[in-house]
Each structure stands twice: as structure tokens, then as C-alpha cells.
Amino acid sequence: MSATKPLSQPRSRAKASVPPSPCPCGSGLAYESCCGRYHRGERAPTPAALMRSRYTAYALGLNDYLKATWAPETCPPNLDASTPPQPKWLGLEVRHQGEDGDQGVVEFIARYKVGGRAHRMQEKSHFERRKGRWLYVAGEVTED
């Protein structure tokens, strides 16, 4: 695996400086050996690994990581995963994952609460591998 420059650590939320164990993505692994390694700069080897690491980045408020793993042409300029009101992320279920060359798709359901009310978001995420690195391009979202 090629060496990569570590991403800068977030400054916006104290919660992000003390990563939890086990990993918020629901893999059952410790954060440090799961999504934490991608947050420190290792490249995610698959679209599913990148999607899980992005879910965890949302849960921890890691704005720099979210921006760095989003295709520049579709990344919102005002992306801020730490501006209130923030959802409390409750769980992730990966429904389908697939790769075809440099294209990838991951379908998942993420559960969260905002203001005490539970929500469920289902997304079909599209990824592209560019210069050996997977990036999130876009997603088709349904929420309830």
C-alpha cells in the first residue's frame, strides 16, 4: 500500500479527539484498527470501507476527513458535520456493496436521532477510484 499524508485532525469538537471503541461503524472492531486507520491517512481499500469510515467521521464530526474523501466537484462548500443540531448516530447496516473496475456502489441504512426523534436514512452511495483512491461522488437518499 502506498504511503499517504495523514489528514489533519479536526478542531471543531472535543468528542473527536477521544475516539470510541468499538468503532461506531458497527464492524465489531476497535476504532483504532477499523475506521481510525483511515482517519489517520491510510487509504480505504474498498468503497464499503470508505463508506463505513465516512459514517464514523459524521458520528465524530471529522469535517476534514469528509471533505478529503468527497469528489471535489460534488462536495458541498459549506459542509460542516459539527454545526448544531447534530444527529446522534445510532447504527449502520450495510445492505449491498459492489465494485466494477473504478466504480463502486454501497447501499446502507443509517439510524439516528435529532431532538429526541428517531430517523432512518437509506442511501445508495456511488464511489469512484481516482489515482488509486476511492472517493464518494453522490448518493440517492430516502429518509423517514
**What gap in Å lies between CA 99 and CA 51, rounded to an integer?**
13
pLDDT mean for each 10 residues of the chain (144 residues):
42 46 93 96 97 95 95 91 83 96 97 93 97 97 76
pTM equals 0.83
**What gap in Å lies between CA 78 and CA 141, rounded to an integer?**
19
